Each structure stands twice: as C-alpha cells, then as structure tokens.
Amino acid sequence: MLNAMKILSQLAILMFICLMAELISAALPFSFPSAILALFILLALLSLKIIRTENLEEVFNFFISNMAFFFIPAGVQIINETEILKSAFLEIVLITVISLFTTFLAAAKTVELVERLIEKKNSRKGEEA
C-alpha cells in the first residue's frame, strides 16, 4: 500500500510537470511540443537538484519495466496503415538508409572529436608535469 502511494505521488509530480509544459506550450507564440518541453523542465529540475532522482525512482522503474506496453498503440497503428506503407515503400527504405548512414557518420565524427579533445587534454597535462 505504501509503495503504491509512493508511485502515485511521484506520478503526480510528473503529471504536474507535464501540465506546466502544456500551459507554457500553449502560451508560446510558436508551436513547440509540450512533451519535449516537459523533458527540458524535468532536466532543469533534476540538474538544479530541486527534484532528486530518488524522489522519482519508483515511478521511473515502473515505466521502464512496463515500457513494452507503451509501444503497443504504435505497433497496432502501423499494422492498420499497411496500405500507406506499401504505397510509399521505396521512399521509406530510401529515407531509412540515408538516416542510417547520416547517424553513423555523425556518431563516428563525434567519437573522433571527443578522442582529439581527450588527447589534447592529456598532452597538456603531460607538458605541465
């Protein structure tokens, strides 16, 4: 019973953050997804230590352990839209391949940059010693 109340109270905190994001998103003069805004708000609250990760740990673990459940609606919708997918199959494959290589290239260049920065940092430490 106590664990259920703890999860509900933590869920209430997350819902409040989502509500604030909805209100902010509605007030903005341009379109911005409230879900992304809620993630930024949560990041800011966690970074500023206004909310500690321990305060949301149980609800996070609940969501992670039930994550597959949240993909069911998307999977069902894909199955329902097979005609659209069939008609745009070539475009979808092309976009997927281009995205794959773009992501791979971006990740590889990021690793190279980080390695160079680490080498520079280590060489400066070697010069100082």
- The per-residue pLDDT for 50 is 93
- The per-residue pLDDT for 129 is 60
Query: What are the CA-CA distances from residue 39 to residues 33, 44, 79, 84 (Å)?
Result: 10, 9, 29, 32
Domain boundaries, the chain: 1-65, 70-129
CB-based contact 55:10 (threshold 8 Å): yes
User: Using one digit for the tens of pLDDT, what is the confidence trace for 56-108?
Assistant: 988 888 889 988 888 888 888 888 888 888 899 999 999 999 999 999 999 99
pLDDT band of 15, cuts 50, 70, 90: very high
Query: What span, in angstroms and rounded, lies between the C-alpha atoms of 10 and 30?
Result: 31
Its pTM surpasses 0.75: no
pLDDT at 20 over 80: yes
Structure tokens at 17: 């953050």
